[in-house]
Chain A
Amino acid sequence: MIRVALPGHLRTLANIDGEVKLEIAGEVTQRSVLDALEGVYPMLRGTIRDHVTQKRRPFLRFFACAEDLSHESPDVPLPAAVASGAEPFLILGAIAGG
């Protein structure tokens, strides 16, 4: 079971309380996590990564296990603690004013 923590405005958009829990078959990567997340919550498509390029939106960040994974390839396996559900995969807004 993968745990995903979303920023507040995306939880509101998707009507989510707390963390999202996802079952993922196969390798746990940024791409497979986001594919699964968008499959359950289609209203999140385009809000975390671009519809066409599938690149992370520039003002969002991906953290896990006290590491910034934002610039990792989307196909690199996530840390084992994320894959096991011990640690959440964090999606958060960059500090950029507003």
Chain B
Amino acid sequence: MSKVRVLVGTRKGAFVLTSDGKREEWDVSGPHFAGWEIYHVKGSPVDRDRLYASQSSAWSGQVIQRSNDGGKTWGPVDNKFVYDGVAGTHQWYDGTPHPWEFKRVWHLEPSLTDPDTVYAGVEDAALFRTVDGGQSWQELNGLRAHGSGPRWQPGAGGMCLHTIILDPSDPNRIFIAISAAGAFRTDDAGKTWRPINKGLHSLYIPDPTAEVGHCVHHVAMHPSRPGVLFMQKHWDVMRSDDAGDSWHEVSGNLPTDFGFVIDVHAHEPETIYVVPIKSDAEHFVPDGKLRVYRSRTGGNEWEALTNGLPQTDCYVNVLRDAMAVDSLDKCGVYFGTSGGQVYASADAGDNWAPIVRDLPAVLSVEVQTLP
């Protein structure tokens, strides 16, 4: 029988949750790296026992951990993230130039073909890559060297590169997103990049349709349709049918179109999930109700999924990397909250149950489907 392994990053450590294909009984392992912030843990799709974790703290900076046995044991690898060449400046919150300074790794994206190759999205925004299993990291400096770099500015959470999507049909194409610069695409394996923000409309920047400056919170893609992208922006849920060349809004009947997560069903490319959050000032679910919204039409028409989720007095947030799907026949959907709950649905969102209720605040959730 197939198994699933849920990799959870929290404010105070990492947890590994495992279950069989029924996804009813769970084994909880952790905390790993107790006391450290774990922004992201992700496994290689080529070697599922090869995991990478981003471990950081305000005291001791960045550590990258690697496991070769599915998270049973870990060891630190290289943590030297040095910008290539002169780092330069970006905009600070007050609009003044500010030096690029490495703070942490937000997202680790293992290669689709090589377990030793991993991309790292960092704050201050840049893209790094290792090709030796984490023994060394090099910046793909074409992104930061894009002419718009000096105009990028941090969102409330910092100027982070938080989303990396590798196109399974084209090894030269990568999508990334930065808060608050926007989305970018390379078609030459990272040498050159271009902003893909046409159609985004953001009232919090002087020119709401500017080339860069949009606070993109997350982007999702179904691997069978790499030209179709779904985006949860600061406000607005967006869709692109041309690999990001243009976007249109699909917020439809959502109760609020602010939010962080967005994901796509493993087997239905037009079925997408978001968790609406009340507003940029009130980072919790609206009306005290934790509701996942599902669209089976690729956006615009949304239904609330509430079975098994708290519907009174709930005021949690769900952060941008804290939702994932498994690829079992009945697609499993998982998300973690700022209150430390990790919820799972073994039936594509119709019914939910907590795997764990009392972890530290959840920063990220990834899922591996194992044979």
Contact B63 A13 (CB under 8 A): yes
Q: How many residues on B have C-beta within 8 angstroms of the other chain's C-beta atoms?
A: 14
Q: How far is the CA of A60 from the CA of B61 in the complex (A)?
A: 11
Known: A9-B35, A47-B63. A52 touches B58 (CB 8 A): no
CB-defined contacts of A96 to chain B, threshold 8 Å: 58-59
In the assembled complex, A94 has its CB within 8 A of some CB on chain B: yes
**Contact mask B45-62 → A, CB, 8 Å, 1/0?**
000000000000111111
> B308 to nearest A CB, angstroms?
33
Asked whether A43 lies within 8 Å of B59 as measured between CB atoms, the reply is no
Residues of B contacting A47 in the complex (Cβ-Cβ under 8 angstroms): 60-61, 63, 79
Whether B80 contacts A51 by the Cβ 8 Å rule is yes
Residue of B nearest to A49 (CB): B61
Q: Are B36 and A46 in contact (CB under 8 A)?
A: no
Bound form: Cα–Cα A13–B65 in Å: 10
From known contacts A9-B35, A51-B82, A52-B82, infer whether A46 and B76 are also in contact, taking CB-CB under 8 Å: no
The size bracket of the interface on A is: 20 to 34
Q: How many Å lie between the Cα of A9 and that of B34 in the bound state?
A: 8
**A20-63 Cβ-contact flags toward B at 8 Å (1 or 0):** 00000000000000000000000101111011100001011000
- A43 B62 Cβ-Cβ under 8 A: no
Does A9 contact B36, Cβ atoms closer than 8 Å? Answer: yes
- Chain A 55-98, CB within 8 Å of chain B: the 1/0 string? 00101100000000000000000000000000000000110101
Contacts of A48 in B (CB 8 A): 60
A-B contact count (CB 8 A): 47
- B60, B80, B82: the one within 8 Å of A9 (CB): B60
Interface 0/1 of B322-336, CB less than 8 Å to A: 000000000000000
Q: Which residues of chain B come closer than 8 Å to A8, judged between CB atoms? A: 35
Contact partners of A9 in chain B: CB under 8 A: 35-36, 57, 59-60
Residues of B within 8 A of A94 (CB): 59
Q: Tell me how far the C-beta of B128 lies from the nearest C-beta in chain A, rounded to whole angstroms.
A: 13
* Beta-carbon contact of B79 and A60 below 8 Å: no
Assess whether A5 is interfacial by the CB under 8 Å rule: no
Contact in complex: B76, A13 (CB < 8 Å): yes
Least CB distance from A79 to B in Å reads 24
Q: Establish whether residues B63 and A93, one from each chain, have CB atoms under 8 Å apart when the complex forms.
A: no
Instruction: Known contacts A13-B76, A43-B76; decide if A7 and B59 are in contact (CB<8 Å).
Output: yes
Chain B residues with CB under 8 Å of chain A are: 34-36, 57-63, 76, 79-80, 82
**A9-B57, A12-B34, A43-B76 known, 19 other contacts, Cβ within 8 Å:** A7-B59, A9-B35, A9-B36, A9-B59, A13-B60, A45-B80, A46-B80, A47-B60, A47-B61, A51-B80, A51-B82, A52-B82, A57-B61, A59-B58, A60-B59, A93-B60, A96-B58, A98-B58, A98-B59
